[in-house]
Structure 1
């Protein structure tokens, strides 16, 4: 596995090794020892799988408050997405900044989104499936969000269209108004 640092401290692009022959291919999408050697000591407790029927579906920007915050390891297993992490750790040098990457079933790249970051993705085609691991169980009472088009964050979404949103995501607050208990350097 190749672990590539991004401009946001703690956010990594992960490129699994692919082994193929005339039958097809094999890859490890997660290996606890490989992650540990890269300095990432994670204990994933839940796997999630989502399906989005339409191009332009946007899910996020989501996070859970501490102490139920989640690290996510995200991959696209059918189709393609634009995956985004936003630093929401107060006091961070990159507070309010975002990083985005195209994850596809073909490129097999993954994005590691640590605690203290909001996460979202936009589907780039119809019939997309996304799978991700989390290191904390879903906690409805700690579930929070930030509006996808917050002008202070200014994510450059790749599709020039009004995204398909959930009711919850349509009503999410701006970063400045969001319930947020993350502080840089404090876990």
Structure 2
């Protein structure tokens, strides 16, 4: 398992060894030892879910209140997607910064996003399946969104693909509006959450 930290603190890319043979392939997308060595604690699993998306579908930017927040380990099990992490933690040295990578069913790469980070992706093919391991169960009252097309953030959506967006995400506030409304996670609260997770 190869691991690298992304440009946003608290986000990591995990690239597993893929073992193909005449039957197909096998890989371990998540390994607790590699994950814990990188992040500092094992992943607590509260929910596992999948989304199936047509080409151009944009989901996000989504985030949850901290505490407890919702960390995510995301992989792509069919098709391909451009996955983006955005630092929404007010007070963070990387606030407003984003990083991205392509997840697909060939490399089986995964991305981990700590609590307080925003997550979005665009499906690059029809019938793209994203699989999420989430640290907590979905709580609609604690879930929020930021405009995925906010020019201040400037996410790298492919211009040649027409985006397909839900009303919820289309009508989401900009980063500046969410910050002015006091809706964004606080960096110190996130650090306290990370410290609690590292405590046996």
Query: Normalising TM by the smaller chain, what interval?
Result: over 0.9
Higher deviation after alignment, 160-169 or 105-114: 160-169
Structure 2 length as normaliser, TM-score? 0.87
Residue 93 of structure 1 aligns with which residue? 93
Does structure 1 conserve the Cα–Cα contact (< 8 Å) formed by 2:75 and 2:132?
A: yes
> How many correspondences in the alignment?
186
Deviations 1:123-168 (A, max 9, x none): 1111111101010110000010000111111111124344111111
Distance in 2 between residues matched to 1:169 and 1:39, nearest whole Å? 29
Residue 198 of structure 2 aligns with which residue? none
Alignment of 1:13-162 (within 5 A): 13-41=13-41, 42-52=43-53, 54-162=54-162
Does structure 2 conserve the Cα–Cα contact (< 8 Å) formed by 1:81 and 1:102?
A: yes
Distance in 2 between residues matched to 1:71 and 1:9, nearest whole Å? 13
Residue 9 of structure 1 aligns with which residue? 9
Distance in 1 between residues matched to 2:107 and 2:30, nearest whole Å? 16
SS of the residue aligned with 1:70?
coil
Distance in 2 between residues matched to 1:67 and 1:36, nearest whole Å? 21
1:182 aligns with 2:189: no
**Superposed structure 1 runs of 4+ greater than 4 Å apart:** none
Distance in 1 between residues matched to 2:106 and 2:36, nearest whole Å? 26
SS of the residue aligned with 2:136?
coil
Supply the RMSD in Å over aligned alpha carbons: 1.5
- Give 1:90 shift: 1.0
SS of the residue aligned with 1:81?
strand
Distance in 2 between residues matched to 1:38 and 1:147, nearest whole Å? 30
Q: 1:146 to 1:65 in 2, by over 3 A?
A: same
Specify every segment of 5 or more residues in structure 1 that has no aligned partner in the other structure, as ranges: none
Specify every segment of 5 or more residues in structure 2 that has no aligned partner in the other structure, as ranges: 194-200
Deviations 1:57-87 (A, max 9, x none): 0000001111231111111111110000000
- Give 1:175 shift: 0.8
